[in-house]
Structure 1
Amino acid sequence: MSRLTTDALGLLLKNAISTSSMRLGRVVHARIVKTLDSPPPPFLANYLISMYSKLDHPESARIVLRLTPARNVVSWTSLVSGLVQNGHFSSALFDFFEMRREGVFPNDFTFPCAFKASASLRLPVTGKQIHALAVKCGRILDVFVGCSAFDMYCKTRLRDDAQKMFDEIPERNLETWNAYISNSVMDGRPKEAVEAFIEFRKIGGNPNSITFCAFLNACSDGLFLNLGKQLHGLAFRNGFDGDVSVCNGLIDFYGKCKQILRSEIVFAEMGTKNGVSWCSLVAAYVQNHEDEKASLLYLRSRKKIVETSDFMISSTLSACAGMAGLELGRSV
């Protein structure tokens, strides 16, 4: 590493971030300090801030930020995004407003981070302040900023503000529709989620796995069984028959709609299964009072060394209780 250019050092820092290698990052940082004049070029300083922040060393990231005289919106966004990524939402908001106190305006990448932090902390007043700033900066019409604001309003239970924000987004992309459908389901409004999906299809929208899973959650009621069946066909016609998350959603959907045979067929035809696949079918059996099948499937999953979840264990225990399986319940 004796003759590395600044570009090469930058690439090494990117590699440290992508591989989550703090050791590599610190070695590169030491080389920068040793071979380059202080302070380093702004783009290298930004890489360092991003590396420390994303690898969950926020204090180191702040030290580099404070030692960077030419810090700009990219520098601050590198810090804030890493804090949000690692769940430090309060710190992210603190640094977001610290950036504003320095006179730096957020960009299209900073605002979504701030909205996510506000949503995660359930701070609607703070979210509204950030929304007002986005309007002032002329960023609210950006689809990602608008979608983040919409999601914040949904998560802070401000339905009217959320609907208004959704209506004002000029060009709704797939992520926007996914957010609308998912939040409607989580908010207990499956009919609105179904209506939104139908509207999305009418305007020529092409769903992805997130859309399909959200819609299946909305249809998890006998009233929407036929719609769910239609979605099943649409998903497979669009090549999602090998998508594990979609298949897991179908197992869960059919189980909740008392169509356990269909859940079994989807499970049996899956080329690749994960822990959620097994858990979904165990839960479907329990929901349909097939306690013995649920217990036997759990035992099969253990033989295949499938990673179990708390929900899978609780479902199996419910099955054991249903058939008085004391010995199996103790082993679980």
Structure 2
Amino acid sequence: MDYVTLLSALRTCTSSKLLKQGKLIHQRIFSCGFQSNILLCKSLIGFYFSCHDYASAELVFQTNECPLDVSLWNSLLSAYTNNFRFVEALQLFDQLNCNSHVRPDFYTYPVVLKACGGLGRVIYGRRIHNHLLKTGLIWDVFVGSSLMNMYAKCDQFVDAIKLFDEFPQRDVGCWNAVISCYFKDGKAETALKTFDKMKELGFEPNSVTFTVVVSSCTRLLNLKRGKEIHRELIDRRILLDAFVLSALVDMYGKCGCLEMAKEVFEQIPRKNAITWNAMITGYSLKGDSRSCIELLMRMNDEGTKPTLTTLTSIVYASSRSVQLRHGKFIHGYILRNRIDVDIFIDVSLIDFYFKCGYILIIDRF
């Protein structure tokens, strides 16, 4: 059996998360003498991570006979960051830096910067920034956009925008990073202007770009611009993933256009908590507690666990509509399911009971 056949079989096990069968292929790799094949080792790491068998993935890396190949290090680093194991990623990067026989490359740094952003480790990220300036790798467009994203994730907007302005070559990732910076910094109008400039210069926005600019329209309650961007999404035939669709539902809901919000909402085949919350919040702002509760029931039936945001929105809707029955229902739902609530739900319940004239029950909070 050749290594190409084994690689193909291993990829099938990875996509289907077949741990038992994948381990048998791992044994066959050893028996065929392919344990030093870099492609197979990288695929084994990806396979074990897909099955959440992290110890086996680390063992593949540790026992490999070619530890000087940086692509193997990159494979494990990517596996860590893609599974949100950012601490382990930075620990491995530290080990790589201590190894005098192998050096990080331009594939390494974007992965490590993602881990820095995920942990909010801006000081660590700045150290990498200084090193990239010395090596010249910072001017690689993929590395540069990753550095901008790291600063954006760490709320260091000035640094991200300064880097963007200095960058000689830009890709969509760079533009997405700076647009996100403006949005997160409360400058939604500037985010939209930057989006327009991006298109004027010939760059094609992607689903990430559109998610941020739709959210910018939401923050500005600019329904007209939001509709224009929705039309542009359709005209450009951009892949409407769950993030873009959820942003559209949120935009239409918060701008009071519930019919369009519901139309987009029903297009989403697999709804996550963010999607449900966007639609529930739209009804909540209208004080439609009945529709909120109906969506909560659908949410439960379709296997999505409600979040505290979900519950707060429904209590708020009951308070706005002064619907005692609906508010008591959601309060009972919280108690029956032994949900640990936060201060926002407590305050919302107090406000609800006060508006309904149930003053005595407030003393229980």
Q: TM-score, normalised by structure 2?
A: 0.77
CA drift at 1:13: 2.8
Query: 2:281 aligned to 257, 280, 283, which one?
Result: 283
Q: Specify the SS of the correspondent of 2:137.
A: coil
Residue 20 of structure 1 is matched in structure 2 by 17
Query: How far off is 1:113 after superposition?
Result: 1.0
Matched, 1:318 2:316: yes
1:66: which partner in 2?
Answer: 62
CA shift for structure 1 position 82: 1.0
More divergent stretch after superposition (218-227 vs 240-249): 240-249
Matched, 1:97 2:94: yes
Task: Give the letter for the 1:328 counterpart.
Answer: F
TM-superposed CA distance for 1:25, in Å, is 2.6
Which amino acid in structure 2 is aligned with residue 315 of structure 1?
S
* Shift in Å, 1:292: 3.7
Q: Structure 1: any 5+ residue segments left out of the alignment? A: none
* Mapped pair 1:233 → 2:234: no
Q: Which region of structure 1 is more displaced relative to structure 2, 6-15 or 147-156? A: 6-15
Matched with 1:76 is 73
Query: What's the counterpart of residue 29 of structure 1?
Result: 26
8 Å CA contact 1:54, 1:83 repeated in 2: no
Q: Would you say the 8 A contact 2:13–2:21 is kept in 1?
A: yes
- Partner Cα separation in structure 2 for residue 242 and residue 35 of structure 1: 45
In structure 2, do the counterparts of structure 1 residues 247 and 92 end up closer, same or farther at CA, with 3 Å as the change threshold? closer
Please, which runs of 5 or more residues in structure 2 have no aligned partner? 335-365
For the 8 Å contact 1:260–1:288, the answer to whether it is kept is no
Shift of 1:53: 4.6
State the Cα distance separating 1:73 from its structure 2 match. 0.4
Deviation for aligned residue 1:117? 0.9
Matching residue of 1:201 = 199
Work out the percentage of aligned pairs sharing the same amino acid.
28
Query: Whole-Å Cα distance in 2 between the matches of residues 277 and 16 of structure 1?
Result: 31
Q: 1: distance between equivalents of 2:275 and 2:14? A: 31
State the Cα distance separating 1:213 from its structure 2 match: 1.9
Which residue of the other structure, out of 226, 244, 254, is the alignment partner of 2:252? 254
Task: Give the C-alpha shift of residue 218 in structure 1.
Answer: 0.9
C-alpha change, 1:260 and 1:53, in structure 2 (3 Å) is closer
Residues 10 and 44, structure 1, Cα contact 8 Å, conserved in 2: yes
Measured in 2, the distance between the counterparts of 1:267 and 1:48 equals: 39
- Asked whether 1:115 is paired with 2:106, we answer no
Match of 2:157 in 1: 159
CA-based RMSD of the aligned residues comes to 2.9
Q: Distance in 1 between matches of 2:184 and 2:114?
A: 17
2:167 corresponds in structure 1 to: 169
Residue 217 of structure 1 corresponds to: 215
Q: How does 1:133-148 map to 2 (within 5 A)?
A: 133-148=131-146
1:162, CA displacement in angstroms? 1.0
